[in-house]
Amino acid sequence: MRRDVFQAIADPTRRGIIILIATQAMTPNALAERFDTSRQAISKHLRILTECQLVKQEQTGREIYYHLNATKMKEVADFIEPFRQMWETKFNQLDNLLSNIKNNKK
């Protein structure tokens, strides 16, 4: 099935998985211990993350280590980035407002 990165990160458990494997690759069993769900449920999340290429598999023996493919995260960053100016200039406007109030009080 055609998967979408935005849909993949919509689920909080999947965001948790992403954060966990960012620093170190992990197996489904190891991941399942960190969440309050079954291994199979984690496996389904990993399937979704794999389908949209947010995650890569690396099999060693009967264990499968899941790595993060951070490059794919760039798609989200590209969507967000155009709006960065908007919220940062908003803070600047607030700063200006505050400094104006400060100057008036003098």
Partner DNA sequence: AACTTGCGAAACCGAATGGTTGCACGTATA
Partner DNA sequence: TATACGTGCAACCATTCGGTTTCGCAAGTT
Binding site for DNA (CB under 7 A): 1, 7, 10-11, 13, 27-30, 37-41, 43-48, 57, 60-64
Return the residue of 1, 2, 86, 104 that touches its own copies, per CB under 8 A: 86
**Residue 44 near its own copies by CB under 8 A:** no
Provide the residue type at 105 as one letter. K
- Which residues are CB-neighbours of 6 under 8 A, at least 6 positions away? 75, 76, 79
Q: How far is CA 88 from CA 20, 36, 82, 85, 93, in A?
A: 29, 37, 11, 5, 9
- Of the pair 7, 40, the CB lying nearest its own copies is at 7
Crossing angle of helices 39-51/12-23, nearest 10°?
Answer: 80
Size of the site for its own copies (CB under 8 A): 23
Residue closer to DNA, measured from CB, 35 or 73: 35
- Residue choice 84, 92, 93, 97 for contact with its own copies (CB under 8 A): 84
Closer residue to DNA (CB): 50 or 73: 50
